[in-house]
Chain A
Amino acid sequence: EVVLTQSPATLSLSPGERVTLSCRASQSISSYLAWYQQTPGQAPRLLIYEASKRATGIPARFSGSGSGTDFTLTISSLETADFGVYYCQQRGHWPQVTFGQGTRLEIK
């Protein structure tokens, strides 16, 4: 099983700041990684797929990078709607799917 480890566990930042979230895979998953945002009481929302492709309707301030075992989600300038929990997810070894444990992004 591919284990995804996200860091940091929690971040406290202010609107307008730049943030970088990390996701590390226990073995290579090529670029088979997606990122989701979840706000309280809501379903997850797809942000990025195949490591760097923005999903439909996702603002350009969100970007993803990485391949192999190390991946990054960057938000160039935080807005209040961006706070919540971020999960990475892999499907590099079909059909199994695993998620990272999440990074909580809080308003400072």
Chain B
Amino acid sequence: EVQLVESGGYLVQPGGSLRLSCVASGFTFTTYWMSWVRQAPGKGLEWVATIKQDGSEQYYVDSVKGRFTISRDNAKNSLFLQMHSLRAEDTAVYFCARENFGAYVSFFDYWGQGILLTVSS
């Protein structure tokens, strides 16, 4: 059974830093792109970042470029999101998601349960 379990969400002050983690199990982690998607309270979904299987490519939504870094440790089946210079608008539930590919394009086929990050003084 595919499982994605996030951890590390807390209450952080504006300008602070935090690292989210996601541990994967039930599939061969090294063969999948992985992503983070977030959802502000009462709002819709927003893609945050994506990383290639070997970590050699990373992509970000413009609003987090230069502040967030996605990384992975394939030996530990783990995905990370290092966040700096946090703002109130980064407050959201953060989901770890596996990317799968159909014939033409990727989509998110498995999601973690999500973890809440609150940025507030």
Contacts and interface: CB of A to CB of B under 8 A. Distances in A.
Q: Looking at chain A's contact residues, is the secondary structure mostly helix, strand, loop, or mixed?
A: loop
Interface residues of B, number: 24
Interface residues of A, number: 29
Nearest to B96: A43
A87 B108 CA distance: 12
B55 to A, nearest CB: 15
Nearest to B4: A43
A30 B104 contact: yes
A74 interface: no
Contact of A91 (B106, B110, B113): B106
B47 A98 contact: yes
A89 B107 CA distance: 8
B44 A89 contact: no
A89 B50 CA distance: 15
A82 interface: no
Contacts of B1: none
Contacts of A38: 45
A91 B107 contact: yes
A42 B113 CA distance: 7
Interface in B94-121: 95, 100, 102-114
B111 A50 contact: no
Contacts of B89: none
Contact of A89 (B61, B100, B108, B112): B108
Interface stretch (A10-18, A19-27, A99-107): A99-107
Contact of A50 (B35, B102, B113): B102
A75 interface: no
B76 to A, nearest CB: 22
A43 B103 contact: no
Given A89-B45, A95-B50, A43 B107 contact: no
17 contacts: A34-B108, A36-B108, A43-B95, A43-B114, A44-B108, A46-B108, A46-B109, A49-B102, A50-B102, A50-B105, A94-B105, A96-B47, A97-B47, A99-B45, A99-B47, A100-B44, A102-B45
Interface of A: 30-32, 34, 36, 38, 42-46, 49-50, 53, 55-56, 87, 89, 91-92, 94-102
